[in-house]
Structure 1
Amino acid sequence: MDALIWAGAAVSVMGLAGIVWCIRNMLSARGANLPEPEMRARLQKAVAQNMAALALSAVGLMMVVIGIMLG
């Protein structure tokens, strides 16, 4: 079960990296002074990417918990 714990930790770190990437992406878009429609489109895309990264992180944490429970 150690492999499941370490794999879950790796998946969780990838999700966390995705969340940080979304934050950096939005901070750069905010500083670019984009027109309203383009900014809205970027925000909608970023929300979808952020939710996917959050889901990936949650799956990784579930893998860690299951690995601990089974081990």
Structure 2
Amino acid sequence: MQALVWIGALITLIGFAGIVWSLLKVMKARREELSDDELRQRMQKIVPVNLGAFFLSMLGLICVVVGVILS
């Protein structure tokens, strides 16, 4: 079950990288001083990636917990 822990940790890191990427994209969009409509359009493109990254992180953490419990 140690493999499950490492796989879960890898999935969590990938999800965390997605969260950081979406955070950086939002910060960049806010610094560009776009109009409200343009900013909203950019945010609508970033939100699905952000939610997917949170889901990946959650799945990875679940794998880690299950791996630790089964060890």
TM-score class normalised by the smaller sequence = over 0.9
Q: Structure 1: which 4+ aligned runs deviate by more than 2 Å?
A: none
> Structure 1 unaligned runs (5+)?
none
Instruction: Tell me what 1:15 maps to.
Output: 15
1:55 corresponds in structure 2 to 55
Which sits farther off after the overlay, 22-31 or 44-53? 44-53
Give, in whole Å, the separation in 2 of the partners of 1:45 and 1:59. 23
Instruction: Render the CA deviation track for 1:2-55: whole Å, top value 9, x for unaligned.
Output: 110000001001101110001000000111111221110111121211111000
Deviation at 1:70, TM superposition (A): 1.1
Count of aligned pairs between the two proteins: 71
TM-score, normalization by structure 1: 0.93
Question: Gapped runs of 5+ residues in structure 2?
Answer: none
Indicate the RMSD between aligned Cα atoms, in angstroms: 0.8
Please report the TM-score for the alignment, with normalisation by the length of structure 2: 0.93
